Amino acid sequence: MALTKRIIPCLDVSGGKTVKGIHFAEMVIMGDPIIMAKQYAIEGADELVFLDISATIEQRKTFAKLVSQIAHEIDIPFTVGGGIQSISDVEVLLKAGADKISINSAAIKNPQLLTELNKQFGSQCIVLAVDAKCIDGVSYIFSNAGKVFTGIKTIDWVKQAESSGVGEILLTSIDHDGTKEGFALELIDTISNAMSIPVIASGGAGNAYHFKTLFASTNCDAALAASIFHNGNLSLPDLKISLKNNNINVRL
């Protein structure tokens, strides 16, 4: 027995509802995040991620309340993120009961923030979310929900973040997100092998085979997916049994 590979359903939340966009656009309402989260926990989700994609301050307040509700009701670890700008944003969410926070654009704007967060809260609760896109064969990071080209190479950014004390990398391939055609295997393998901290792969999950291929061919630690679970196209128990049958070590 050993540490298992984690399967992580992700819930994008806006105005208190779970939504899903394709290629970081076009939102569709999927359901109530608490009900969905509870169901996923029962079905064997190893962790959950809740991303606040609200546009307004009013909706953001709703999110902090939701985090507290999740913490009351869910008995597995969960990460929250989306729009985190400052140490005080992080403090509010951790106090509300989140186990980890994920940070993205704010860290790109101010990399020093990662060092400060590590110092104040410890690396174990700081997840760096990275949105990567391939341009002419080179992977670059994008900020502001995948909209803004930064010119920073993905590998350079995750290396820098690791040395700043980030505890985990959530790596989303913008090219693969929403396509349901499989994970960005090459990118994920490159980044996982370059890191001594855990890497969560995200973007492109369409069926159980994609997860199997991901874990069999890369060194990543966890896989995150959203719509494939929300739509009911793939159930967590079926996925985990299928992985187990393919000699991938998962918690059943």
Catalytically active residues, by annotation: 12, 131
Rounded least distance, CB 181 to other proteins, Å: 27
CB atoms < 10 A from the CB of 178, how many?
18
Of 46 and 177, CB closest to other proteins: 46
CB of 118 to other proteins, least distance (A): 10
Minimum gap (Å) between residue 210 Cβ and other proteins: 20
Report the DSSP pairing between strands 199-202 and 222-225.
parallel
Site residues for other proteins per CB under 8 A: 1-6, 41, 46, 71-73, 75-77, 94-97, 99, 121-125, 167-168, 195-198, 221-222, 251
State which residue, 51 or 220, has the beta carbon closest to other proteins. 220
Task: State the minimum distance, in angstroms, from the CB of residue 173 to other proteins.
Answer: 20
Nearest CB to other proteins, comparing residues 72 and 109: 72
Separation CA 239–CA 215 (nearest Å): 13
Q: How far is the CB of 46 from other proteins (least distance, A)?
A: 6
- Residue nearer to other proteins on the CB measure, 131 or 221: 221
Using the minimum distance from each CB to other proteins, give the nearer residue, 76 or 241.
Answer: 76
**What is the 3 state secondary structure string of the chain?**
CCCCCEEEEEEEEECCEEEEEECCEEEEEEECHHHHHHHHHHHCCCCEEEEECCCCHHHHHHHHHHHHHHHHHCCCCEEEECCCCCHHHHHHHHHHCCCEEEECHHHHHCCHHHHHHHHHHCHHHEEEEEEEEEECCEEEEEECCCCEEEEEEHHHHHHHHHHCCCCEEEEEECCCCCCCCCCCHHHHHHHHHHCCCCEEEECCCCCHHHHHHHHHHCCCCEEEECHHHHCCCCCHHHHHHHHHHCCCCCCC
